[in-house]
Homo-oligomer: A and B are copies of this chain.
Amino acid sequence: MQTVDDSQETAPVDRKERQRQTMQAEIRATARGLLVDEGGAAVTINAIARRMGLSGPALYRYYPSQAALIDALRADFYGELIAAMRQASSHGAGDAPGSGLLAMSRSLRGWALAHPAEFGWLFASPTANREPGACDPIKSEMGHAFGQVFLEQVLAIWEAKRFPVPSIEDMPAIQAEQLRAFSERLGGRLPAEAASVYLACWMRLYGLLCMEIFRQIDFAYADMTPIYEECLQELCRLLDIAYAPPDG
């Protein structure tokens, strides 16, 4: 049934497949260069093809549409950011509880500052702007994995040494219900009360970073490093861990 009888047949197939994948990677790399050099509006099928010495329609052998290409590129960005965050958090592990979280948070900001155009595409896709009701599949999938990295750190802190949590009874019923559902979706590894702390921390950090990257506060602050560190200090207080200033 299978055509995998021996290597004489599978080898060329694999080689072709690898060539195809490197071509796709080259297309995405070219698109990213265009994004960084000339802005998001310059990322067109024709412009990418021109940069690669190809004719426009050739790219449709590799991506069915411009939107698909852009989505793949955004998935790249998510992957790169998540990898950077994971690496930073593992580097800081073994020390005091929460050192991984601090390292991860700083690497998140570092990546966003180093790649503002890419970060902008993560936050709001130019593709998703097309239709009003259409939700962003990349953001739903990868955005989940994105918050997940932060969640893992909070989870580690929670499992090592519980942090203070608010009483879920004091919350409005709608909020309590949503927290319970979310906690369940997490497999119950984080109780609803602790999940509310995780979400509060994540919103604080991510919200502040967006304010900075999208320059919403630049009428007052050009350099937001101290404010970001102040935010991290408050997260540490909320999670009952020790704050350590960045080294270097």
Residues of A at the B interface (CB closer than 8 Å) are 36-41, 117, 120, 123-124, 126, 129-132, 134-135, 139-140, 143-144, 147, 171-172, 174-175, 178-179, 182, 195, 199-200, 202-204, 206-208, 210-211, 214-217, 219-223, 225-227
Contact = CB atoms under 8 A, between A and B. Distances in A.
A26 to B, nearest CB: 22
B144 A219 contact: yes
A174 B226 contact: yes
Given A132-B117, A207-B208, A182 B220 contact: yes
A114 B38 CA distance: 34
Nearest to A134: B39
Contact of A132 (B38, B123, B129, B182): B38
B207 A220 contact: no
B132 A124 contact: no
B38 A220 contact: no
A178 B210 contact: no
Given A124-B214, A207-B211, A214-B123, A175 B130 contact: no
B199 A221 contact: yes
A195 B227 CA distance: 13
Nearest to A172: B226
A214 B136 CA distance: 11
21 contacts: A38-B131, A38-B132, A40-B130, A41-B129, A120-B124, A120-B129, A123-B214, A124-B124, A143-B216, A144-B219, A147-B219, A175-B227, A178-B220, A178-B223, A182-B220, A203-B207, A203-B227, A204-B204, A204-B207, A206-B216, A210-B211
Contacts of A210: 207, 210-211
Contacts of A223: 174-175, 178
Nearest to A226: B175
Nearest to A117: B132
A143 B39 contact: no
A219 B129 contact: no
A119 to B, nearest CB: 12
